[in-house]
Amino acid sequence: LVSRDFHPRNTIVKVGTVEIGEGRPPVVAAGPCAVESEEQIMKTARAVKKAGAMLLRGGAFKPRTGPHTFQGMREEGLLLLEKAGKAVGLPIVTEVMSPDTVGLVAEHADLLQVGARNMQNFDLLRELGKIRKPVLLKRGMSATVEEFLAAAEYILAEGNHNVILCERGIRTFETATRNTLDLAIVPLIKELSHLPIMVDPSHATGKRSLVPPMSKAALVGGAHGVLVEVHPEPEKALSDGPQSLTFAGFDRLMGEIDRLTVFLGWDE
């Protein structure tokens, strides 16, 4: 079902009123790693909207590596994210971690994210296949392209064809960056599948200064959008501060993406 062989036409996924996929202007989803407070998410929503983001991201159910760190505001965070998205007029994307919260998250979010750590949580994928809301499926940190597409197949097989893939870096011998951004899979996925593909340069690099160049590289390489972490005060962030852009940094990146868009004729 995910293969281009059986489905030559490109899938365009609609998130709220935003269309994502081949032939559409590239989409920028931005927001904090995690929703931390009403003030934090409201401020960020206003800033990213003003800078031109089309989607608001924010984690409520957080898959943290260790159990003693901030685990997210869970349902309360989800509701704050929804409120912030509505306040500024942006559809929201947030992670869902378990099959039993799919209903809850689907009720409030416009796009449901499956995190890298859950790419092969098959019960979760099956549950997401039964809803009609679109799904953003991130590549597992050690998943091959074949495994990545097979995971997407689980969702489509249950009847939900609104799946966007997302490359977020993989584990390699290299430790200078948090993960190794595998940009070559963007054009490769486009050869193999009709599904849209986005890139998350924040988790891929783990380093703020690398996020703008890798965002632009992803878009020039044909990605249908990028997912970028932005925080009002990255140094005080409860998670992923070092890779989060400041408002000024995000604004600058959006200006650069605008110029690329005109230069490459993506706006036509």
The residue ranges that bind Mn ion (CB under 5 A) are: 33, 240
The residue number whose beta carbon is nearest to Mn ion equals: 33
> 228 and 30 in contact (C-beta within 8 Å)?
yes
- Distance, in Å, from the CA atom of 239 to the CA atom of 64, rounded to the nearest integer, reads 9
The three-point CA angle 195-221-13 to 5° equals: 25
248-251 long-range contacts, CB within 8 A, separation 24+: 249/208, 249/211, 249/212, 250/30, 250/47, 250/48, 250/51, 250/53, 251/47, 251/50, 251/51
CB of 200 to ligand PEP, least distance (A): 6
- Distance, in Å, from the CA atom of 23 to the CA atom of 265, rounded to the nearest integer, reads 11
- Nearer Cβ to ligand PEP (134/265): 134
141-148 long-range contacts, CB within 8 A, separation 24+: 141/116, 141/117, 141/168, 141/169, 141/170, 141/171, 141/179, 142/170, 142/171, 143/119, 143/170, 145/185, 145/188, 145/189, 145/192, 147/119, 147/120, 148/119, 148/185, 148/189
CB of 239 to Mn ion, least distance (A): 6
CB of 94 to ligand PEP, least distance (A): 9
Residue 116 interacts with ligand PEP (CB under 6 A): yes or no: yes
Among 21, 59, 91, 212, binds ligand PEP (CB under 6 A): 59
Residue 72 interacts with ligand PEP (CB under 6 A): yes or no: no
CB of 215 to ligand PEP, least distance (A): 14
Q: Of these partners, ligand PEP, Mn ion, none, which one is at the site of residue 4 (CB under 5 to 8 Å by kind)?
A: none
- Nearer Cβ to ligand PEP (190/203): 203
- Nearer Cβ to Mn ion (33/109): 33
Among 3, 23, 50, 63, binds ligand PEP (CB under 6 A): 63
CB of 142 to ligand PEP, least distance (A): 12
List the x/- string, 152-191, binding to ligand PEP by CB under 6 A: ----------------x-----------------------
Tell me the CA distances in angstroms from 229 to 28, 95, 205, one per residue in order.
11, 14, 12
Residue 32 interacts with ligand PEP (CB under 6 A): yes or no: no
CB of 25 to Mn ion, least distance (A): 25
User: Which residues in this chain contact ligand PEP in the complex, by CB under 6 A?
Assistant: 33, 59, 63, 95, 115-117, 138, 168, 200, 203
